[in-house]
Amino acid sequence: MWGYVRIKSFLFSSVTIILLSLVTLGQSMYFEEVESLTSSQRDALDKFRERVTPILPHDYMKSDLYLVRFLRLKDFRIRDAENYLQETLQWRQLNSMDSIDTEDFSDIEKDFPLFLDGVDKKGRVILEGFFGEWKLRTAVIAGKLPKLKRYGVKAIEDATRKVRELQYQGKNVTQWVMLLNMEGFNLRETACPSCLPYYLNFVSSYEKYYPYSVGHMVFVNTPEAFETVLNLVRPIMNAQTRKVMKVFGTNEAQWEAYVKKHFSISEISEWFGGYKPRKFSGYPDFV
């Protein structure tokens, strides 16, 4: 009998310690974005959390990290941030974002591959792709633009979810990064007038519904033609997004040095001077 009581007590204590550890981990994980708040900003965050917690459908949305980003977007105006958050929740429900990972994108993925299988030197998830080879015009003509736009939003959702998975593993990571090779980008196939809605949808969805989620964006082998797209989307980018964006031209020595400074070559593909092979029909073979 006493042995049973001791075992039960031990198990209860162990579970308690684990739960307390997870709480402590969650609190320490957001040091940079939350611990730097002023006293008035902290007060705003506390009031904001109290107001919106009853309407939040997921536990991760109740974290200070998630909530403070809406406050930052609205300069810590609580009412405005609350309205913005409600708009985000409505958008997620309307677009079935919680189940987007169950949808079949196999026909899109084979022609427009993206990868989330590496981290940068800060431990942040890398969303990697050879965007210059994407045949957007071909997809538009085939009537695939709506699904391609949704695929782009899914990439943002997947990267954001991957960050949460790393947090659950105890990693002190709050953002993801983007690494794109733009070689092959051209006005006819990748920036045609009917292609532009893809860029607008991707950037506007990110800015509206995933604020401050990206910590670094790197474009390499970028031709001058890409300026057409940048001029289109810059007005809807917030200052923080523009700040973390780094665009390199076709000088490989220049961009490779920068990439290797921020990314371990074992964590990136051959498209960026790394080790990971990427085999896809129609894509450059670096082997």
Q: What is the pLDDT along the chain (287 residues), one digit of tens a residue?
A: 444 444 444 444 444 433 334 333 444 344 467 777 899 999 999 999 999 999 999 999 999 989 999 999 999 999 999 999 999 999 999 999 999 999 999 999 989 999 999 999 999 999 999 999 999 999 999 999 999 999 999 999 999 999 999 988 988 899 999 999 999 999 999 999 999 999 999 999 999 999 899 999 999 999 999 998 999 999 999 999 999 999 999 999 999 999 999 999 999 999 999 999 886 545 555 44
- What is the residue extent of each domain of the chain? 1-36, 37-94, 107-272
CA distance 135 to 200: 17
- Asked whether 284 and 130 are in contact (CB, 8 A), the reply is yes
From residue 282, give the alpha-carbon distance in Å to each of 175, 184, 190.
Answer: 31, 11, 15
Architecture of domain 37-94: Orthogonal Bundle (1.10)
CATH of domain 107-272: 3.40.525.10
Q: Give the global pTM.
A: 0.85
- For tokens 């994108």, what's the residue? 105
User: Residue for token digits 């965050």?
Assistant: 45
CA distances from 157 to 36, 65, 80, 105, 166 (A): 27, 16, 24, 14, 14
Residue with tokens 């033609």: 225
d(CA 93, CA 83): 15
What pLDDT does 30 receive?
A: 47
Buried b or exposed e, range 257-275, using 16+ CB within 10 angstroms:
eebeebbeeebbbbbbbbe
> Residue 260 in contact with residue 222, Cβ under 8 Å?
no
Say what the pLDDT of residue 34 is.
76
DSSP state for residue 86 in the 8-state scheme: H
pLDDT of residue 210: 95
Strand partners, 177: 126, 216
Smallest CA-to-CA distance from 157 within 111, 101, 107, 200 is with 101
Enumerate the β-bridge partners of residue 234: none
> 41-75 b/e with 16+ CB inside 10 Å = b?
beebbeebbeebeeebeeeebebbbbbbbbbbbbe
